[in-house]
Structure 1
């Protein structure tokens, strides 16, 4: 039988036609398979990814009230346009963590979304032709009803494979045991191959979210949904997608890289499972997120079976594009058809920044216009007055000494919990403490925009904008009952923020453990006093797992509780005591730090910590004319006894404001040395000279 293409060619030749549409044929046809040259067909496919936008739609810093070229989908949109124009075959996906994390997100949550309303994030994203979106953990922060109303405004479908209905009936008549969202999609994509011919490729998309949402947002999710392990869910659905005809499969996990070892021992505990996903057969590319970091990047140099030049994890093409729109993730796949199947022949990944030494792109006017009304509403929202501060509240030194931005949050939590337990006889006799962490202290020290991530609240009149700057998450207030032994271990894990300092080493030693301990996990616990001995090894890693061989390590020393009579509880007497610790739902339900977890929770309030803070500022201002905004210096580093001249360094913001604040507030001698490649100021700190802390 004559090949149909050959027959068509002869007909065209006979008729002297110039256009018979011979380039318009699709993948998978029997006639193509009969053609020997079909095995040489290649297609270049570009995957674009945004992730962790956290409602940073505008290129604007609402805390400072100024344009900010380092953030915002308005800028990323211009990169998207550029990246599309460079290639013929392009798809755009979003990884999640979209609805929370900026004043605009707070404004919309406070105002509420009714059925039919469109969230400004989707007003913007609907202009960009996204093919699919994944659900991130912060999508659940405002509850399931808010989430449903929000995503209904998206002009693109949403996927998630590992969240299941756990109620008798969930939304849209989803039944118990069924996926709450569409677990995966297989979409046909018309593409042009290397010969200029049209092909049809079936692209599969599958999304995941950390199982820890059941702890982080327990009040919104318990009894309503369940969340399965990421890798086990992938192993369940990927073969199904292949049977249903997916030519290639793109995984979109809202999950960091995670451990490259013991990848089979991940189960429900594994929040960061991307590397483990690379072992799941059938996944052709991974567009991941959650960690607010960049991949490929030199910080992952030396990671097992990782190529930071090509951008692969365990030979799987992968990309992670930072956060807040500061980068666009790009994966370029070269697909080759072999024996009727499409395989990844080659790949190249990159995270393309919107700002690098200077702005790389201008903002999209379409995006700005799409959210103009919401932008104006946010500006009005953040300027609502709430009180007055006694002094400047800056977080430039929050990683090296007790800090006012952490202190005021802690004080507000302490005040609220004391009020709440005053009439609870089983609790009101126990000492109340408060745990808080620096949320804005240089980000992850991984991008140039991180150097701007510091609290900068000036003394004097305060607004809701300032409260949102001091407490950036919509956490709710929770209280735990723990003993002194657990409290010490909680602090031991927090102290993993610091690298171990060798008191006999004259070479430069870095103080902050940027790579392995997020600053938001550096909890300071107020109501007790203590010192941190950083010459000792860390007992715990960043996941609060005991480091092998360091079971008896102790960095927390002189841990003391002083009661109202002035009696000091220390040592075994302290360890045996019970305490109430005010914190947030993320920490309380997280079960990471000692003493946390549902079994220790004694008080769970619906109040957001940020609103508790705002009301505290208002009440203190009303009672005293202003709120006290100075640190009480309840913790410090233990002075290092050595005859060696030490060169210990830390990073903070490089600005005139930071210079002045450090000069006026340093408890130890600090000398500015230089700047690092990310634009942070590098300071030398003297930890060998005794200080007196009042």
Structure 2
């Protein structure tokens, strides 16, 4: 101390003056802007192309998302790009690659595309396991970027790459030294930590591939264990990439939760959560009522969070402002948003495709087009929707059967005691009847061998399978809203009366399978087309009943009080318009599309025999007639009419399958055939 003091005394006044200036000058703040980009749930949708309809589709595909990535990179000095998983399965291109197989050293089509974009890291999704571990290992070998997953462990004496029992099957997390440029133009190195997770339910969903080979731990418990390790190893920024949906805000502590993002945001030292799995978009108005959600800034419990839809329809973007304070990087601000590739209202693309992606997968693209002609099963009868609005219908029946099969197989144990019903509607039954082309908008799938393209005809929309829980009373009101499809018939009038209310969209005419009921079209509608209440005392749904496996029949008060599971789609389940729907009723949200469930059901029912290359069975789409129109009583001779396609195929189908006497009257100005239906 004294030596220092004497040395200071010996300094010249000029030197002291200089030192004084140096000490008093404040250190210039260092600020870095960092942009993190995310893709998720691509499901092998690389091309902006619909293989079911054999047409370009600008609303999907990594080729379009790549255009957003390019724009986002141009607008930021520092960017990194991550993928959340569910990559190699879920589209015809994914099925094609799995069917063909991968030779040693061959690069999977999705990685042919992704390697062009220079990803920094990828996370494992649950659908990565669908084709087995051997196929997954070959696929991952083609990725020019590292992969992470923290909650899947080797469960056999030795797994791939020398990994032993009890060890992580994948690299649990990465801490990457990333060179960034601050706002003053100077370079720094930031340690960015990435940690990934997958739903532990993979052990149920792909048990045939994983039992005895791997085990999966809970997402939250793994995060709590490993995030402190990442910080101890010097991670300046921790980015969680869970392949998991938001989950419960009321009970976020479920150790084995499939959807655990809400709970993840409460784990200390996680700076952002880039998630997926549910095929939804966050931030969005859909989650505006979620506790802790800041939709404007894209925060969940104060943590930047983004989920970019599915099939490349959105890109996730998190923008950080980082400040170097006392030698440590601190997050001083963060925002998140999902950016769409397509305007669904204006039906217009918002970005051009990256032609490099087209070029990279051109061979696989053509192979997939050819692959789409392959059979998926055999149908025992025609599936036409010509009568779907006036009686139970095979095109709706087969979808209902497929949804019941899928949801029944996937229900958690605590719900398996409940009856599983299914809600499905005729998506293609004459369009909006506003132009001559609408008369051609009917499903037309003939008996015999079915292809993937037939599945697109049977299920038009890219919905995903969701299950809701409701009471019998809510079930009845759901059906009352559907029954708005019918005009009220005046039993005292002999003038022509149109049976169908064409202001009610066909996709809002839900048939609920698994119960029996009739519709009395002489009564007023209780609800309007959007389930707005019109007449609280009205009741068109009559003779509603449910019969359990023992033969016991529930009706009236007993049915109203009974609880049911209804298999439906994400559009209906989260819409909240129909009774028994809305997020509070959702008990299971699957990432599988309804179309995928349909294809799987057709294949299972048809019984493909690999030895002979033939199908040993057939799927029977015949309607079970669980709903009917109630016969109309009245003194007048009624003239009730409806319209359908004017074609020989339609005419033959009506003649063969009609449940009521029907007489063709002629053709209207839009080209529809007019029929009289005898309901008396």
**TM-score band, normalised by the shorter chain?**
0.5 to 0.7
Is the 1:287–1:320 contact (alpha carbons within 8 Å) kept by the matching residues of 2? yes
Could you tell me which residue of structure 2 aligns to residue 190 of structure 1?
Answer: 179
Residues 1:407 and 2:397 are matched in the alignment: yes
1:327 matched to 2:314? The reply is yes
State the shift of 1:125 in Å.
0.4
Paired residues for 1:205-604 under 5 Å: 205-264=194-253, 266-268=254-256, 270-356=257-343, 357=346, 358-384=348-374, 391-392=382-383, 404-405=394-395, 407-408=397-398, 458-460=444-446, 463-466=450-453, 469=456, 529=516, 558-560=545-547, 570=553
Q: Which has the larger radius of gyration?
A: 2
Q: Is 1:631 the equivalent of 2:623?
A: yes
- Which residue does 1:94 correspond to in 2? 83
Report the CA distance shift for 1:238/1:77 in structure 2 as closer, same or farther (over 3 A).
same
What is the 5 A alignment of 1:603-614? 609-613=601-605
- Superposition pairs of residues 665-680 of structure 1, within 5 angstroms: none
Separation (CA, whole Å) in 2 of partners of 1:44 and 1:361: 25
The answer on whether the counterparts of 2:119 and 2:145 sit within 8 Å (CA) in structure 1 is: yes
Distance 1:359 1:560 in 2: 49
Offset at 1:692? 12
Q: Decide which moves more: 60-69 or 296-305.
A: 296-305
User: In structure 2, how many angstroms separate the alpha carbons of the residues matched to 1:245 and 1:206?
Assistant: 14
CA-to-aligned-CA distance 1:332-383 (integer Å, 9 cap, x gap) = 0111111111111111211111001210111111101111111111111111
Distance 2:313 2:658 in 1: 32
Aligned to 2:157: 168
Residues paired across the two proteins, number: 498
Whether contact under 8 Å (2:394, 2:621) holds in the other structure is yes
Is contact 2:445–2:454 with CA below 8 Å preserved after alignment? Answer: no
Match of 2:64 among 60, 72, 75: 75
Counting only pairs closer than 5 Å after superposition, residues 615-626 of structure 1 correspond to structure 2 as: none
Residues 107, 85 of structure 1: alpha-carbon distance in 2 compared, 3 angstrom cutoff:
same
Q: Residue 136 of structure 2 aligns to a residue in which SS?
A: helix
Give 5+ residue unaligned stretches, structure 2: 1-22, 406-418, 429-440, 461-466, 485-506, 520-524, 527-541, 560-566, 568-584, 588-598, 632-649, 660-676
For 1:114 and 1:523, locate their aligned partners in 2 and report how far apart those are by CA, in whole Å: 46
Residue among 47, 54, 63 paired with 1:65: 54
User: Aligned partners of 1:244 and 1:633: how far apart in 2?
Assistant: 65
1:207: Cα distance to partner?
Answer: 0.3
Q: String of CA shifts for 1:69-97, please: whole Å, max 9, x gaps.
A: 00000100111111100001000000001
Change (3 A) 1:530 1:440: closer
CA contact (8 A) 2:153 2:169 kept: yes
Q: Single out whichever of 321-330 and 456-465 deviates more from structure 2.
A: 456-465
Distance 1:218 1:156, change over 3 A: same
Match of 1:133 in 2: 122
Shift of 1:300: 1.0
Q: Give the CA deviation at 1:109.
A: 1.2
1:652 alignment counterpart: none
Cα deviation for residue 195 of structure 1 reads 0.9
Q: Displacement of 1:105 after TM fit?
A: 0.9
Deviation at 1:496, TM superposition (A): 11
- Measure the CA separation in 1 of the matches of 2:260 and 2:627: 35
Aligned partner of residue 113 in structure 1, secondary structure: coil
Query: In the aligned structure 1, how far is the partner of 2:74 from the partner of 2:386?
Result: 42
* Contact 1:395 1:440 (8 Å CA) reproduced: no
Report if the CA contact (8 A) 1:405-1:438 is conserved. no
- CA 1:166–1:304: 2 relative to 1, 3 Å: same
Cα distance per residue 1:183-230 (max 9 Å; x no partner): 000001111001110011000000000111111111111111111110
CA distance in 2, matches of 1:209, 1:496: 37
1:335 and 1:306 mapped to 2: Cα distance? 22
Q: How much does 1:634 deviate?
A: 2.6
SS at match of 1:318: strand
The answer (yes or no) to whether the contact 1:318–1:331 under 8 Å persists in 2 is yes
Shift of 1:523: 12
Structure 1 alignment gaps of length 5 or more? 1-33, 416-432, 443-454, 473-489, 508-518, 536-554, 576-582, 584-591, 595-606, 640-659, 668-690
